[in-house]
């Protein structure tokens, strides 16, 4: 955990599965030459090779069920400088709280017009935008009567595969946040709040979709908490 407690620990006792996957030994830093080689030989992410999928609200020729939303924000460093050309992957449950994945056994219905995956690239100002459906809460077996808050997963890629960070975006006013051990694993309340998107009326499109703004900061005192500190 970082000294200011703004990032989650590898092992959070209330989040049961971290006990099985947290490192047991001191982490080793890759030698600079090896790290550079992995970047040179790994995949390079650009729109030409990975076409953007910025509208998750439509799939297989139809519109998904649920509350349509627009999510937008900026990706910046600690000084507010934009990070251009970064690929952001998106994945989430549908409006009923079920993932379109064979291992999801939740008895909520699948939506044939919602696959729950997308990707966008930041522009020259570090801005990104995508359209989706507000995800539903779903049960998980971490503890008795456990439910995950509404959330969207975001995976951020830099120039290469090894430059990857993962975070989650939550929604304002969700009563499950106060009970969620993943969200609460971040000890600093101010840092925790940076994972909650802001409702943005200016981003909302009349009679079509509500807008939420979620800015992401890498490094520094105002850094967005990540699942890979």
Which residues are the active-site residues?
A: 99, 138, 148, 151, 153
* CA distance to 20, 61, 169, per residue, from 91 (Å): 24, 19, 11
| Residue corresponding to tokens 């990032």 | 7
In the DSSP assignment, the letter for residue 159 is S
Nearest Cα neighbor of 196 from 205, 183, 206 is 183
The DSSP code for 197 is: P
Dist CA 150 CA 6 (whole Å):
21
Please give the distance of CA 70 from its chain centroid, rounded to a whole number. 15
Two structure tokens written together for 34 = 């090896």
Residue pair 128/73 in contact (Cβ under 8 Å)? The answer is yes
Spatial distance between the Cα atoms of 137 and 133, rounded to a whole number of angstroms: 13
Sign of the alpha-carbon dihedral angle for 118, 141, 172, 166? negative
């Amino acid at each position: 955990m970082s000294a200011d407690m703004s990032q989650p620990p590898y092992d959070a006792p209330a989040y049961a599965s971290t006990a099985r996957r947290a490192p047991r030994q001191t982490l080793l830093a890759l030698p600079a030459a090896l790290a550079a080689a992995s970047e040179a030989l790994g995949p390079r992410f650009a729109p030409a090779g990975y076409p953007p999928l910025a509208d998750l609200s439509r799939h297989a020729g139809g519109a998904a069920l649920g509350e349509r939303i627009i999510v937008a924000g900026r990706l910046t460093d600690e000084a507010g400088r934009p990070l251009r050309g970064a690929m952001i992957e998106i994945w989430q449950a549908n409006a009923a709280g079920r993932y379109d994945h064979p291992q999801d056994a939740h008895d909520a219905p699948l939506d044939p017009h919602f696959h729950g995956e997308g990707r966008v690239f930041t522009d020259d100002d570090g801005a990104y935008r995508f359209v989706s459906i507000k995800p539903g809460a779903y049960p998980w077996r971490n503890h008795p009567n456990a439910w995950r808050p509404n959330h969207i997963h975001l995976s951020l890629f830099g120039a290469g595969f090894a430059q990857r960070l993962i975070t989650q975006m939550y929604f304002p006013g969700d009563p499950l946040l106060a009970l969620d051990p993943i969200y609460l694993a971040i000890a600093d309340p101010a840092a925790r709040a940076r994972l909650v998107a802001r409702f943005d009326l200016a981003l909302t499109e009349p009679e079509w979709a509500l807008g939420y703004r979620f800015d992401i900061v890498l490094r520094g005192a105002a850094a967005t908490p990540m699942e890979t500190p």
